[in-house]
Structure 1
C-alpha cells in the first residue's frame, strides 16, 4: 500500500470508531476484510489510528473537523507533512483538500483540554490532582508508550535476560524504575515469538507496574493474596520474588491464562474462586479497577469513553474493595492498594476515607508514578494493620 492508501484506510477505521465501535474491533474487522494488506501495512495503519485516538482533540482542531478525515489531516499537519502529498485524489488516496480544509489554527490559542487532548469535564480533575505537572503529564499521554519487559527472577537475571534477547535481535536497555525492567529499543514486534519469552525469561510488563511490586518488599514465603489479579501480571512478579501467592478475581475468567503463564514462568500460584478469598494473609494486594488514566497511551479509547458518572461508580467500587479486603489481612499484616490512575479521587482520597472509617490501620508508604518517570501512571498506598486491630 502507498502512504496515501494507508492514510485512507486509517480514515475509514477512525470514522467507524467515532461512530461508536471499539477501536481494536474496527482494526481487526478492517484487516479481515482487506487481506491484501500486508503486516507492515496493518502496523502502519494501526500506528496512524492510535496516534489520532491519543490526539483526538488537537488533531481535530488542526484538521478542521472531528471526523476520520479531519483527524488524519490534523495528524499530518502536526507531523509537519504537507497534506497535499497525501490528499491527491489518485487511486486509493483521499480526495483532494477542499478550500475550507486549508484553513489552519494555532494550537497555542486553543483551550487547555484541546491542547492537551482531554475531555472538558476531566481537565479540572487532572489539574487538581497533578498541579503544575498536569500539562507535561497529559502531553506525555499523547505519545506512544515504550515497550517494557520484566526479567523473571524465578528463571534468570536482568543481565542474562538482556543477553538472551540480544541473541535474537531484540535490543533492550535497563530502566531505572525497577531492577527487573528492560525497555525494548529494537525488535518489539518479535518479543512474543522469541525463545526468551517462550521459555519464561521475560514477561511483558510496564516498568511502573514492576516498580509497584518492588515497593511491596516481599520476602520468600510471604503469604500474599492478589485480590484483583486479572491476567496475573503482578501475581507472577510477586511469585518470582518468592512470595506464596494466591490469586483471586471477581471474574474468574480473567485468570484463565494464569496457569499457563505460571508454568512458563516456573512459579506456583494458587487460584481461588470469587467469594472464597479467605483470611490471615501477610499481605493483601488490590490492583483495583480504575479509570486507567495512567495508561491512556496504551488505551487511548479509555479517556474518551470515561464519564463523570463512570468515574463516580469506579470510586464506589474501589471503596467497596478496600472494605472487602481489610478483614483478610492478618493482625500486623499489610494491605496494599494500587491503581493505574492519575486522579486523586481514586488514589489518596480513597485511602484517606478508608482510614477515617476503619479503625486499626495506619499508612506506612505511598508512591506515585507518572509517565514523566518513563512508565505508566500508577499509585500505591501500603497500610499496616495494628497487631491487636480488630476487623468485622
Structure 2
C-alpha cells in the first residue's frame, strides 16, 4: 500500500471508532476484509489510528473537523507535513484538501485541546498533578515504550539482554526497576523470542514493576493478589519467592494465568473464592480504576470516561480495600495500587481507609508519573495492627 492509501484506510477505521466501535475490533475486521495488506501496512494503519486517538482534540483542531479525515489532516500538520502531498485523490489516496479544511493554529487552542483531554478532566488532573500537569499530559500524547520484566527467579538481566539481542531485539535497562528492560528495537519480535518462550521475560510496564518491587516480602510469604486480572503482578511477586494465591471477581480475567505461570516456572494458585477466615501475610489490591496513567496505551478510555464513571470507580475501590483488609493477618501488609494519576483514586482512598480503620499504619505512598518513563501509577503500603 502507498502512504496515501494507508492514510485513507486509517480514515475509514477512525470514522467507525468515532461512531462508537472499539478500535481493536475495527482494525481486526479491516485486516480480515483487506487481506492484500501486508504486516507493514497493518502496523502503519494501526499506528495512524492510535496516534490520532491519543491526540484526538488537537488533531481535530488542526484538521478542521472531528472526523477520520479531519484527524488525519491534523496528524499531517502536527508532524510538519503538507497534507497535499498525500491527500492527492490519486489511486487509493484521500481526496485533495479543500479550502474549508484549513483548520486552526494550535497556539490559539484551549489547554484541554492542546493537551488532548476532555474539558471536565482538566480540573481533577490539575488538582492531582499541580505544576507537572502539562508535562505529564504531554507525555500521554506520545506512544508508550515497550517494557519487559526479567524473571529474576530464572535469569539475570544482562544474560536476558544477550538472548534477546541474539533474536534481533535490542533492549536497555530502565532505572525504575532492577528487573525492567525497555525494548528499543523490534518489539514485535518479543513474543517469538527464545527469552519469552522460555519464560525468562514477561511484558510489564516499568512503573508497575517498580510498584511490585516496593511490596515488602519475607521469604515464602503467603500473598493474596486480590484483583489479579491477567496475573502480571502475581508473576512478579512469585519471582521474588512469594507463595501467591490469585483471585479476581471475574475469574475469566485469569484464564491465561496458568499458562503464563507454567512458562515462568511459578507455582501460583488461582481461586474463584477466598474463605472469610483465610489470612495472608500480604494482600495486594490492584483495583479497577480510570487507567489515566495508561492512556498512551488505551487512548479510547479517556474519551469514554465520565464524572459518573469516576464516582462509581471510587466507590468500588473503597469497597475492595475494606474487603481485602479482612484477609490480612495481624501485623500483615495491605498493598493498594492503581494505574491512575487522579488523587481521588489514590491518596484520597488511602486517607479515607486509614481514617475508618483503627490501628493501620501507612508505611509507603508513591506516585509514578509518565515523566518517569513508564505509565502513571500509584502504590501505597499499609501495615495491619498486630492484634
What TM-score range do you get, normalising by the shorter chain?
Answer: over 0.9
Match of 1:26 in 2: 26
Instruction: Note the residue ranges of structure 2 that are not aligned, 5 or more in a row.
Output: none
1:3 and 2:37 are equivalent in the alignment = no
d(CA) in 2 for partners of 1:164, 1:313: 45
d(CA) in 2 for partners of 1:309, 1:275: 30
- Secondary structure at the aligned position of 2:148 is classed as strand
- Secondary structure at the aligned position of 1:282 is classed as strand
Match of 1:138 in 2: 137
Structure 1 residues 271-321: Cα deviation after superposition (integer angstroms, max 9, x where no partner): 111354753211100000000000000000010011111000000000000
**Higher mean C-alpha displacement, 356-365 vs 136-145:** 356-365
**Change beyond 3 A, Cα 1:68–1:156:** same
Deviation (angstroms), 1:327? 1.0
d(CA) in 2 for partners of 1:146, 1:217: 27
Deviation (angstroms), 1:368? 0.7
Match of 1:350 in 2: 349
Contact 1:222 1:243 in 2 (8 A): yes
Contact 1:248 1:277 in 2 (8 A): no
- Secondary structure at the aligned position of 1:262 is classed as helix
Match of 2:214 in 1: 215
- Secondary structure at the aligned position of 1:10 is classed as helix
Deviation (angstroms), 1:220? 2.0
Contact 1:7 1:72 in 2 (8 A): yes
Instruction: Note the residue ranges of structure 1 that are not aligned, 5 or more in a row.
Output: none
1:375 and 2:369 are equivalent in the alignment = no
Contact 1:219 1:241 in 2 (8 A): no
Matches within 5 A, 1:214-363: 214-276=213-275, 279-363=278-362
Contact 1:331 1:385 in 2 (8 A): yes
1:91 and 2:117 are equivalent in the alignment = no
d(CA) in 2 for partners of 1:324, 1:217: 21
Count of residue pairs brought into register by the alignment: 387
**Change beyond 3 A, Cα 1:306–1:20:** same
Deviation (angstroms), 1:149? 0.3
Contact 1:245 1:269 in 2 (8 A): yes
1:37 and 2:31 are equivalent in the alignment = no
d(CA) in 2 for partners of 1:123, 1:142: 15
d(CA) in 1 for partners of 2:316, 2:42: 38
d(CA) in 2 for partners of 1:350, 1:84: 51
Contact 1:251 1:274 in 2 (8 A): no
d(CA) in 2 for partners of 1:277, 1:43: 48
d(CA) in 2 for partners of 1:357, 1:150: 36
Deviation (angstroms), 1:113? 0.5
Match of 2:56 in 1: 56
Match of 2:79 in 1: 79
d(CA) in 2 for partners of 1:18, 1:133: 30
Match of 1:386 in 2: 385
Matches within 5 A, 1:104-253: 104-253=103-252
Structure 1 residues 168-196: Cα deviation after superposition (integer angstroms, max 9, x where no partner): 11110000000000000111000001111
Q: Over the residues paired in the alignment, what is the CA RMSD in angstroms? A: 0.9
Structure 1 residues 235-284: Cα deviation after superposition (integer angstroms, max 9, x where no partner): 00000000011100000111111111001001100111135475321110
d(CA) in 1 for partners of 2:146, 2:249: 29
Structure 1 residues 320-375: Cα deviation after superposition (integer angstroms, max 9, x where no partner): 00010111101101100000000000000001011111212111110110110000
d(CA) in 2 for partners of 1:239, 1:149: 16
TM normalised by structure 1 equals 0.97
**Change beyond 3 A, Cα 1:277–1:201:** farther
d(CA) in 2 for partners of 1:179, 1:31: 39
d(CA) in 2 for partners of 1:55, 1:278: 49
**Higher mean C-alpha displacement, 309-318 vs 278-287:** 278-287
Structure 1 residues 49-105: Cα deviation after superposition (integer angstroms, max 9, x where no partner): 00000000000000000000000000000011110011101110101111111x242
